[in-house]
A = this chain, B = another copy of it.
Amino acid sequence: MTSSADDPSSALALALGETADAVVAYLDDAITGNSPRSARLAAAMRHAALAGGKRLRPFLLVESAALFGVPRAAALPAAAALECVHCYSLVHDDLPAMDDDDLRRGQPTVHRAFDDATAILAGDALLTLAFDILAREDAAADPAIRIALVAGLARAAGGAGMVGGQMLDLAAEGRFENGARSPLAAPEIERLQAMKTGALLDFACAAGAILGSADAERRQCLARYSHALGRAFQIADDLLDVEGDAGTVGKRVGKDAAAGKATLIDSLGIDGARLELERLVGEAEAALSVFGSAATLLAEAARFVANRRN
C-alpha cells in the first residue's frame, strides 16, 4: 500500500497544506482577539494550536463541505473551531495527571514549555474559543446552521464523546479504584475508540454536511465514510505505537504496551490489522461513490490515514 500523500506534490498533500495554513492563520487571529490581556495565556494557546499537526479534522470538514459547493473560506471558521477542540484535548491529555507526555508533534508539550496551571487554563480557553468561533456570523450566516454546529461539536466533544472516551481509556489502564486493569474485549475497545477519537472525526464530516445543507442520504454516506476512516485512523495509530519510532511519530511510542492497554492489534495481530485497514479504506471509498469524482481527495485521505507514518 502506498499513499499519494507520500508525494508532497500530490493533490492531497497540497490540499492538506493549504487548509492547514488557512486554519493556522485563522486561529492565530482568533487567539489574539481572545486573550488580549494575558500574554502568557495567549502564548500557551498558540503553542498548543499553531505548531505542526496535519490538521486532518479541518481538512475533512472543508472537503466534506466542498462536496456541497461550500467554498473553503466559508467552512474555515467551523474547521478552526473543531481544531481548537482537538488541540485542547491534546493539552489536557498530555498533563502529568493524565498521560504525562513530554513530547507532542515533536515539540515540548504545553505543560513542559509552560507549567501545569497554564496548560489547564490554555486548554480551557481553547475549548471555550471553539464555541466562541462557531457563534460568530462568519461561521455561517444562518443562526440555525451555527447552532447545529454548536450542538454537534458539543455532543462530539463531551461526556458521550471524546471526554467520555478518554475517561474509559484511563479506567481501562487501571488508573482508578484498586489500580486493577480491566482488559477490554475488542467490541469494548472499538466503542471506546469511537468515542475518544471517532466522535470528532465524525463531526468533521457531519459539519461539512450541515454547512452544505445536505440531504439525509448524503449525510448518511458521509457518516459511513467517517466511521470507516475513524476506525482506520485508530488501527493505524495502534500500529504506529507498536512499530513506529518517536523521532518519526513526533510523540512517545510504546505507550500502550507500557500501560498494559489492550488495543485491536492484540486481537487482530499486525498482519490482520493491515488487512483490516485495507478493508476499511475500501469501505470508505464505497461510501463516497454517490459523490463521484468530487470526493477523490476524501478517498485519498482515507488511504493516507490508513498508511500514515506519524
Instruction: Name, among A42, A135, A136, A155, the residue most crowded by chain B CB atoms within 10 Å (CB to CB).
Output: A135
| Cβ-defined contact, A164 with B35, below 8 A | yes
**How many copies altogether?**
2
Q: Indicate if A157 sits at the interface (CB-CB under 8 A).
A: yes
A154: chain B residues at CB < 8 Å are 128-129, 131-132, 135
Q: Indicate if A296 sits at the interface (CB-CB under 8 A).
A: no
**Complex alpha-carbon distance, A168 and B121, angstroms:** 11
| Cβ-defined contact, A97 with B125, below 8 A | no
Q: Indicate if A228 sits at the interface (CB-CB under 8 A).
A: no
Query: A163's closest neighbor in chain B, by CB?
Result: B125
**Complex alpha-carbon distance, A40 and B164, angstroms:** 10
Q: Indicate if A95 sits at the interface (CB-CB under 8 A).
A: yes
Q: Indicate if A76 sits at the interface (CB-CB under 8 A).
A: no
Report whether over half of chain A's contact residues are helix, strand or loop; otherwise say mixed: helix
- Number of chain A residues whose Cβ lies closer than 8 Å to a Cβ of chain B: 58
| Cβ-defined contact, B147 with A195, below 8 A | no
A116: chain B residues at CB < 8 Å are 97
| Cβ-defined contact, B167 with A41, below 8 A | yes
User: Of A56-64, A170-178, A232-240, which binds chain B?
Assistant: A170-178
| Cβ-defined contact, A159 with B34, below 8 A | yes
For window 65-114 of A, CB contacts with B under 8 Å fall at: 88, 92, 95, 97-98
Q: Indicate if A118 sits at the interface (CB-CB under 8 A).
A: yes
Q: Which of A's residues lie within 8 Å of B, judged by CB?
A: 31, 33-38, 40-42, 45, 88, 92, 95, 97-98, 115-118, 120-121, 123-125, 127-129, 131-132, 134-136, 143-144, 146-148, 150-151, 153-155, 157-160, 163-164, 166-168, 170-171, 175-176, 191, 195
- Apart from A97-B116, A97-B117, A147-B147: 4 A-B pairs, beta carbons within 8 A: A36-B164, A38-B168, A45-B159, A97-B97
In the assembled complex, 25 residue pairs joining A and B whose CB atoms fall closer than 8 Å, in A order, are A33-B160, A34-B160, A35-B167, A36-B159, A37-B191, A37-B195, A38-B168, A41-B163, A92-B121, A92-B124, A98-B117, A115-B176, A117-B170, A118-B167, A120-B120, A124-B163, A125-B164, A127-B127, A129-B158, A131-B150, A132-B154, A135-B147, A135-B148, A143-B143, A143-B144
